[in-house]
């Protein structure tokens, strides 16, 4: 037996063992026979990414819905807001104070009522954590009474509701250092068991104020995309996240749902030359090829994005031109057409020529040649990077593609191109990707080192806008104001290539509801609407 076939069978066997454990030794036909004539009320999901914590103050639910906890407001499928824990809310005339009145029927799963003090505690804890939840602009949160909380901001902030939609409220009386592994919340589900690197089991919160979910038990098993596909091919599990490179595989008893997402892939390109500088943690900064605007733009115009989406992603994706394609705050002017001649002209006008006939242009003794790194084992990023590198050769630029660990990426991303991914249902992301004060910090937001006073002005104006329409106009100018911007026709710190569909194998008869547009994070966005899932066939017929 060839190794890859052995590996596929072995991974499927591992999944089966985990599934047997999760289901108390019942699976496949056994489980079906026991459910004959009854109602299915459980699902098993194979997902590649395991959360680090279930603590919303430390990032759980960031960009999604933290299903164990409730939020003050939440996103609808069309990216508007609706009340969740909040029964009502008001914004003061100076736009500095938000006042929320809580619903009276919300209880934590230990029986304690959710109060304004819990909201205050959650926000203060999240602000102090200084993690993925940015509340630096929050002055204070005060409980006016048991059901009313007032939140004061240091400046008007248009994205505040977006932030609140990601912060699940935790119980002040039951919060401790190990809360992230043993959470108590008021959301539609509660944690039943967590075996790190293996699985998480959620059970329905029968006292959830929104109504008890139809799916009573959810087992999330962590496994790679290949292993997840092998598992459903073996008939094990009900839902499996796969990848665009595998999504054309037909599996009896399952159908593929290609869920649209804002999850994008593209090159980050260091904008500074190599002058021997380093970050605070000692990572080298700068690249003598990508520091040239004409190089970055020539790459952008050389790539046929539709071809990459069709061929590399098997049609499970679409061209990407920004970090927020399709969102209300996107500027349609960022779109560019593939134009090899224009890319060659950009290089030639700047003095880049192929002087030795090897097909690679050079200038001042520097070849237009560099390395793009990606996380090893990520088949989609590898395929997208290699396809783009092949296309870019047509304008005389050579990109070497190298798979490395995430630890190595954190050391090299300030001096090498990276096949990076972002994507969010909130404009917060644009703010963090491009603000000058975030350039070259030891995080993933702005490793290319983009800085611009003009962009900072638009970013601040967007943050302080009084209406969504006003804010969207400013976000759009961040990308392109007609003269400058972060777009590929502008400073081009990124070369955006594709937006992914999240390819999901779903057992026939299971409805996974109206999926909100997914953000970045291949796996967890899928479960944000678990309370809407149900088995359409309730007869217990053979699956």
CATH of the domain at 44: 3.40.190.10
Predicted pLDDT of residue 9: 40
For the chain, percent of residues with pLDDT exceeding 70: 91
- For the segment 140-145, the average pLDDT, to the nearest whole number, is 96
Nearest-angstrom CA–CA distance, 327 and 265 = 16
Q: Are residues 275 and 372 in the same domain?
A: yes
In this model, does residue 268 exceed pLDDT 90? yes
Domain membership flag for residue 349: yes
- pLDDT higher than threshold 50 for residue 385: yes
Q: How confident is the model at residue 521 (pLDDT cuts 50, 70, 90)?
A: low
Backbone angles phi and psi of 324, in degrees to 5: -140, 40
The arithmetic mean of pLDDT across residues 473-495, rounded, is 97
What does pTM read for this prediction?
A: 0.81
Pairwise CA distance, residues 322 & 413, whole Å: 20
Q: Does residue 190 lie within any of the structural domains? A: no
Q: What is the pLDDT of residue 307?
A: 97
Q: What is the mean pLDDT of residues 37-52?
A: 83
| pLDDT tens digits for range 98-121 | 999 999 999 999 999 999 999 999
Of all helices (H) and strands (E), which one includes residue 151? strand 148-153
Domain contains 85: yes
**More confidently predicted of 543 and 387:** 387
Q: What's the DSSP call for residue 350?
A: T
| 28 in a structural domain | no
> Tens of pLDDT along 523-534?
477 888 899 999
Average pLDDT over residues 206-234: 93
| pLDDT at residue 26 greater than cutoff 90 | no
Weakest-pLDDT range from 110-119, 431-440, 477-486, 492-501 = 431-440
Locate 252 and state its tokens.
């009896």
Rg of the Cα trace of the chain? 25
- Return all residues near 390 (Cβ < 8 A) that are at least 6 apart: none
pLDDT of residue 327: 86
Q: Are strands 239-241 and 502-507 parallel, antiparallel or unpaired?
A: antiparallel
252/156 same-domain check: no
29 lies in some domain: no
Share of the chain above pLDDT 90, in %: 68
Asked which of 130-134, 297-301, 351-355 is least confident by mean pLDDT, the reply is 130-134
pLDDT reported for residue 63: 63
Backbone angles phi, psi at 122, to 5 degrees: -60, -50
The verdict on 523 and 465 lying in the same domain is no
Asked if residue 155 belongs to a domain, the reply is yes
Domain assignment present for residue 26? The answer is no
The parent domain of residue 241 ranges over 1-19+39-50+196-260+501-537
The reply to whether 213 and 240 lie within a common domain is yes
Query: What pLDDT sits at residue 109?
Result: 97
Q: Which tokens is 511 given?
A: 């409805």
Q: What is the DSSP track for 245-314?
A: TTTT---TTEEEEEE-B--EEEEE---S---S-B-TT--B---TTTTSHHHHHHHHHH--HHHIIIIIST
DSSP-assigned beta bridge partners for residue 86: 102
Cα–Cα distance measured from residue 399 to residue 390, given in angstroms and rounded to the nearest whole number: 8
Q: Residue 206 — pLDDT band, cuts 50, 70, 90?
A: very high
Q: Please determine, for residue 28, whether its predicted confidence score (pLDDT) is greater than 70.
A: no
> What CATH number does residue 322 fall under?
3.10.105.10
Task: Look at residue 38 in the predicted model and tell me its pLDDT.
Answer: 56
My answer on whether 148 and 207 are in the same domain is no
How many whole angstroms separate alpha carbon 496 and alpha carbon 510? 35
Q: Phi and psi at residue 53, in whole multiples of 5°? A: -155, 160
Q: What distance in Å separates the CA atoms of residue 313 and residue 326, rounded to the nearest whole number?
A: 19
Give the pLDDT mean for 23-36. Answer: 42
When pLDDT is cut at 50, 70 and 90, the band that residue 29 belongs to is: very low
- Domain co-membership, 418 together with 274: yes
212 and 139 housed in the same domain: no
Q: Which H or E run includes 139?
A: strand 138-145
Which of the four pLDDT bands, split at 50, 70 and 90, describes residue 242? confident
Same domain? For 322 and 415 the reply is: yes
* Average pLDDT of the chain to the nearest whole number: 88
Domain membership of residue 319 (yes or no) is yes
Residues 512 and 448 occupy one common structural domain: no
Domain final residue, candidates 121, 146, 175: 175
Q: What is the pLDDT of residue 314?
A: 92
Cα angle, residue 67 at apex, residues 65 and 73 outer, rounded to 5°: 45
Which two tokens mark 519?
């953000």
The distance of Cα 365 from the centroid of its chain, to the nearest Å, equals 40
Q: How many CB atoms lie within 10 A of CB 39?
A: 12
Helix segments in 372-520, DSSP class H: 379-392, 406-412, 428-434, 453-463, 468-479
401-415 pLDDT tens trace: 999 999 999 999 999
What's the average model confidence in pLDDT over 1-26? 43
- Do 244 and 156 fall within a single domain? no
| Residue 493 sits in the same domain as residue 382 | yes
First and final CA of the chain: distance in angstroms?
30
Tens-place pLDDT, residues 292-347: 999 999 999 999 999 999 999 999 999 999 999 988 899 999 999 999 999 999 99
Q: Higher model confidence: residue 61 or residue 469?
A: 469
CA dihedral of residues 404, 410, 412, 417 (deg, nearest 10): 80
Indicate whether 72 and 135 sit together in one domain.
yes
499 close to 261: Cβ distance less than 8 angstroms: yes
- Please check the confidence at residue 166 and state whether its pLDDT lies above 90: no
Alpha carbons 518 and 520: distance in angstroms, whole number: 7
Q: What is the DSSP letter of 449?
A: -
Residue 67 to residue 191: CA distance in whole angstroms: 10
Range scoring the smallest mean pLDDT among 116-120, 196-200, 450-454: 196-200
The number of distinct structural domains making up the chain is 3
């Amino acid at each position: 037996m060839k190794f890859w076939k052995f590996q596929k069978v072995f991974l499927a066997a591992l999944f089966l063992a985990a599934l047997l454990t999760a289901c108390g030794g019942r699976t496949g036909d056994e489980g079906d026979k026991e459910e004959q004539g009854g109602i299915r009320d459980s699902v098993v999901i194979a997902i590649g990414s395991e959360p680090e914590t279930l603590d919303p103050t430390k990032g759980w639910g960031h960009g999604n819905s933290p299903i164990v906890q409730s939020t003050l407001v939440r996103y609808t499928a069309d990216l508007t807001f609706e009340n969740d824990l909040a029964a009502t809310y008001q914004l003061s005339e100076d736009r500095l104070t938000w006042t929320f009145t809580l619903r009276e029927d919300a209880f934590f799963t230990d029986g304690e009522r959710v109060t304004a003090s819990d909201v205050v505690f959650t926000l203060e804890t999240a602000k102090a954590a200084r993690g993925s939840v940015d509340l630096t602009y929050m002055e204070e949160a005060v409980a006016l009474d048991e059901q009313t909380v007032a939140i004061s901001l240091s400046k008007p902030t248009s994205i505040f509701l977006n932030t609140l939609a990601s912060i699940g409220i935790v119980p002040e009386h039951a919060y401790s250092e190990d809360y992230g592994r043993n959470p108590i919340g008021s959301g539609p589900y509660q944690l039943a068991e967590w075996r790190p690197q293996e699985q998480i089991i959620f059970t329905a919160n029968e006292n959830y104020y929104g109504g008890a979910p139809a799916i009573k038990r959810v087992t999330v098993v962590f496994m790679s995309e290949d292993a997840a596909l092998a598992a459903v091919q073996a008939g094990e599990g009900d839902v499996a996240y796969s990848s665009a490179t595998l999504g054309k595989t037909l599996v009896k008893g399952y159908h593929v749902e290609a869920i649209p997402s804002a999850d994008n892939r593209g090159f980050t390109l260091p904008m500074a030359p190599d002058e021997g500088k380093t970050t605070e943690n000692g990572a080298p900064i700068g690249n003598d090829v990508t520091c040239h605007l004409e190089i970055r733009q020539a790459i952008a115009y050389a790539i046929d994005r539709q071809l990459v989406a069709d061929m590399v992603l098997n049609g499970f994706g679409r061209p990407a031109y920004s970090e927020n394609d399709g969102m209300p705050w996107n500027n349609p002017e960022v779109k560019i057409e593939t134009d090899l001649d224009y890319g060659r002209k950009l290089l030639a006008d700047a003095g880049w020529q192929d002087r030795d006939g090897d097909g690679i242009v050079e200038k001042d003794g520097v070849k237009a040649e560099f390395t793009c790194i990606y996380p090893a084992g990520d088949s989609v990023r590898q395929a997208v990077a290699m396809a783009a590198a092949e296309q870019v050769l047509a304008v005389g630029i050579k990109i070497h593609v190298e798979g490395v660990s995430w630890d190595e990426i954190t050391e090299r991303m300030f001096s090498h191109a990276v096949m990076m991914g972002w994507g969010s249902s909130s404009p917060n992301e644009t703010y963090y990707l491009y603000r000058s004060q975030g350039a070259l910090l030891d995080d993933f937001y702005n490793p290319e080192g983009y800085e611009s006073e003009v962009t900072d002005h638009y970013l601040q104006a967007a943050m302080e806008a009084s209406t969504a329409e006003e804010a969207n106009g400013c976000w759009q100018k961040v990308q392109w104001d007609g003269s400058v911007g972060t777009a590929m026709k502008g400073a081009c710190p990124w070369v955006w290539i594709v937006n992914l569909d999240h390819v999901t194998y779903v057992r026939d008869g299971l409805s996974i509801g109206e999926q909100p547009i997914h953000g970045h994070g291949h796996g967890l966005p899928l479960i944000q609407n678990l309370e809407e899932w149900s088995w359409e066939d309730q007869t217990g017929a053979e699956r």
